[in-house]
Amino acid sequence: MTVTRFPPSPTGYLHIGGARTAFYSWLHARQNNGRFVLRIEDTDLERSTQESVQAILDGMQWLGLDYDEGPYYQTQRFDRYKEVIADLLAAGHAYHCECSKERLDAMREEQKANGLKPKYDGRCRELGLADADNTVVRFKNPLTGDVVIEDMVKGNIVISNHELDDLVIARPDGVPTYNLTVVVDDMDMGITHVIRGDDHINNTPRQINILRALGAELPRYGHVPMILGQDGARLSKRHGAVSVMQYRDEGYLPEALLNYLVRLGWSHGDQELFTQQELLDLFRIEDVSRAPSAFNPEKLLWVNQEKIKQLSAAELLDKSAWYFKQAGIQVEETAESVAVIDLIKERCKTLLDVVTQSQWYFCAVSEYDAAAVKKWIKPGTSEILSTLIGKLADVSDWTADNIQHCVQQTVDAHEVGFAKVAQPVRIAVTGGTNSPSIDATLAILGSAETLKRLRAGLAAFV
Ligand code: GLU
């Protein structure tokens, strides 16, 4: 059975790099009928916070990355780590080391001065020291041979054991170190595929050696290249890379963000848009590119717009409900409100756009866009609006065609361009000039509301 995991450290929000590796792991588990485990690596007590844990859980939920096990918390597993450290000591795979910081620093300096790679010299390796207040526990890394990682993304990677030193696996206070906790968890949780960022690639041979010492079955590894900013540097806050929840706040669909992220570093011909089912069918971790890819916010926005276009108006209204609520706008799902969404759908790149583009329908106009008023409300506008109001008031069958006819008659009567009628009408009924075609807008608003707003505009503009 395939078991993958996502093990974030709760030292910040869930960022898009994490979301991408989580999604790759999730896909790999789901497409193999496997299990996906969430593990919170919170052993760094100073940097881990409850808010980060919550931010990660919220992010996973918003993205729809459901997990079958967990969240496990490493801080709740200290007894187990201690047990494994004791086992490694008892089996001769680990030893107590009393080397002082001063000694280690001096050794490192000397090695550097001699052009050597800094590495613990193994002084305490065979001393058989007992546990003491000042001792750490080191793993006895094999002295000879190679570690071969058959990486699912990067291909074969060979590291000589000679390059690796005897890693500290427990600090003097007995607290286990990062590589030890990861190994114990991956072993205990039966992880079969470790998919993670390639910033962890240096840890992998060490983890493999510890797993071997424990007699554990090795997982397969897949190291995914980093996401870069457009300047080629590793993606960071500086590039506007933010928490996945900020993308929610900005009106991105989770499926758009995931679609965009999966494509960063993976492709299927030149297809850009995928349904989740297509990704489950087509994605292969082995096909992820070995080279890093650059984050492109415009492309993400494009994917979002395309995903919005693919939704029916009713679906779009449903997905926008949270945004209307945030804006304090009450929206019921009725045939009319769905029709409004249908009318403005083409104009929306984000779910926030859905709110701004449609709020003229759901809310009374509370103010008029000053720049629009300055541009379009001129001497003569009142007469134009009065003419139109008179004509519209006589329409008994309130259809777009009949409305259009009234607008055209007003244009003809005043011998002005179409915009000189349409724009003041838009300002009066929506507050600004950004709305769908005038006949469709008025048709959906209804006769009574249209006349009310036009009259209010007429009064306000003079
Ligand atoms: N906790 C590590 C991180 O957030 C993940 C390590 C791993 O995937 O093995 O970078």
pLDDT digits (tens, 9 = 90+) for 248-283: 999 999 999 999 999 999 999 999 999 999 999 999
Beta-carbon contacts of residue 351 (< 8 Å; ≥ 6 apart):
251, 252, 253, 308, 316, 319, 320, 322, 323
Q: What pTM, to 2 d.p., does this model score?
A: 0.92
CB of 178 within 6 A of ligand 1: the answer is no
- 16-31 and 50-63 are packed helices; what angle lies between their axes, rounded to 10 degrees? 50
Atom nearest to 207 CA in ligand 1: 9
CB of 439 within 6 A of ligand 1: the answer is no
Residue 276 structure tokens: 């989740």
pLDDT at position 240 is: 67
Contact status, residue 8 vs residue 18, Cβ threshold 8 Å? yes
CB of 222 within 6 A of ligand 1: the answer is no
What does the pLDDT average to over 447-455? 98
What's 152's DSSP letter?
T
* Catalytic status, residue 237: yes
> Is the per-residue pLDDT at 125 higher than 80?
yes
Which tens digits make up the pLDDT trace of 323-343?
A: 999 999 999 999 999 999 999
Instruction: Identify the structural domains of the chain with CATH numbers, from first to last.
Output: 78-224 (3.40.50.620), 364-461 (1.10.10.350)
Q: Residue 230: which pLDDT band, with cuts at 50, 70 and 90?
A: confident
Distance CA 205, CA 207 (A): 5
> Is the per-residue pLDDT at 241 higher than 70?
no
Catalytic residue chosen out of the listed positions 101, 117, 119, 237: 237
Q: Quote the strand ranges of 109-151, DSSP E.
A: 136-139, 146-151
Q: Which of 5, 149, 151, 196 to mutate to test the pocket of ligand 1 (most atoms within 8 A of CB)?
A: 196
> Is the per-residue pLDDT at 242 higher than 90?
no
CB of 8 within 6 A of ligand 1: the answer is yes
Q: Which of 28, 182, 184, 204 to mutate to test the pocket of ligand 1 (most atoms within 8 A of CB)?
A: 182
CA of 191 to the centre of ligand 1 (A): 14
Atom nearest to 195 CA in ligand 1: 8
Beta-carbon contacts of residue 169 (< 8 Å; ≥ 6 apart):
85, 88, 94, 137, 138, 139, 176, 177, 179, 180, 210
User: What is the rounded (10 degree) CA torsion for 215, 216, 222, 227?
Assistant: -100
Residue 101 burial (CB count, 10 A): 7
Which tens digits make up the pLDDT trace of 359-392?
A: 999 999 999 999 999 999 999 999 999 999 999 9
Residue 303 burial (CB count, 10 A): 24
What does the pLDDT average to over 428-450? 95
| 97 known ligand binder | yes
